Structure 1
Amino acid sequence: MHAVYKAIDGLNDRIGRFVAWFTLAMVLIQFALVVARYVFSANDLLFLSSLWWQESIVYLHGALIMSAAGYTFLHNGHVRVDIFYRTASQRSQDWTDLVGSLLFLLPVCWLIAWSAWPNVALSWRNFEGSTETSGIPFKYLLKSTVLLLAALLALQAVSTALKAALRLMDEDVVDPYRAEESLD
């Protein structure tokens, strides 16, 4: 059990740290577009249209948000109404994490995947691309990030539930990410 939650936590942590670099890429691309357009009056940048570069910012932004949801949950950075959670005992917090992950988050992840699947599958069947002629021809990859969101978030819900269940059974849980929440 310990190996399972450590593997899931490690996966989401590595993915989150990797896709964080997408933010820098978005800023650099936007800066290059502004300089190319307003300083050099150019509509193209590195032999690609400015529309292609603008769409790449949207793709990076979407991939960042969808891929980092599990990372955000792992690091307790999600939005939570913690009026009761913050002041609750460790045992109550563990029960909340266990029940919340199993009864709420996992079904929501399943619902997201179930509702996105037909659209993603159709997009892949048609190799859907941009509606603009000079845009990025990989819209099917962008749409696939919705399934990635559901998978990574569901995995993190399983990890959170496992850690809570193990703590409720009085087992030692090595969770370096949990220590961060006490810094508030």
Structure 2
Amino acid sequence: MAELNSVRVLEVCNVTPQPSSPAGSATPPREALPLTLFDLLWLRFAPVQRLFFYEISNSFDTTILVSKLKASLSVALQQFLPLAGNLKWPQDFPKPILSYVQGDAVSLTIAESDADFHHLSSRSNFVEAEEYHSLVPQLTTSHEKAAAVAFQVTIFPNGNGFSIGTSMHHAILDGKSSTMFVKSWAHICKHLGDDPSG
């Protein structure tokens, strides 16, 4: 069995959705979506965790990468506003709700690993599931509420790459919804800062 990865957490931050309108011009957004019968089936299941690997050039500035990932996540969350909220079960509601109020945010962990990026990201290598555990974030839960999603970006300085680990509450997102969100985030990140006129 391979040696488990050494991951050093550099930062844990909360990313809020980018405001959709100038401050003070409208009522702060507040949303509450009740879970459906089909959502309730997944209420007590463990979060769905996914891991994406990206190769980057040797000269790529990881500080710029992290900054761009944070900014694009904020923009993507503006389009998927409830994902910044929490799963709650208020006493006066007959079933749990996904609740978002302005100021809610998702957890984003920035980490660094000395593990072999190419070993972990290769499709031809056999990798024990344990080797991936430190690359995905924990979903924050308490007796009162549970986060809808959490993300972790892990930089591999020796391997010219990085990974994005996701943890998503299965009662909130199915496979198609989570894929749509990740694709949207990737598209926004790729084009963030592009000049539309040129």
Confirm or deny a common fold (TM above 0.5). Answer: no
Looking at secondary structure, tell me which structure has more helix per residue.
1
| TM-score between both structures, scaled by the size of structure 2 | 0.29
Looking at secondary structure, tell me which structure has more strand per residue.
2
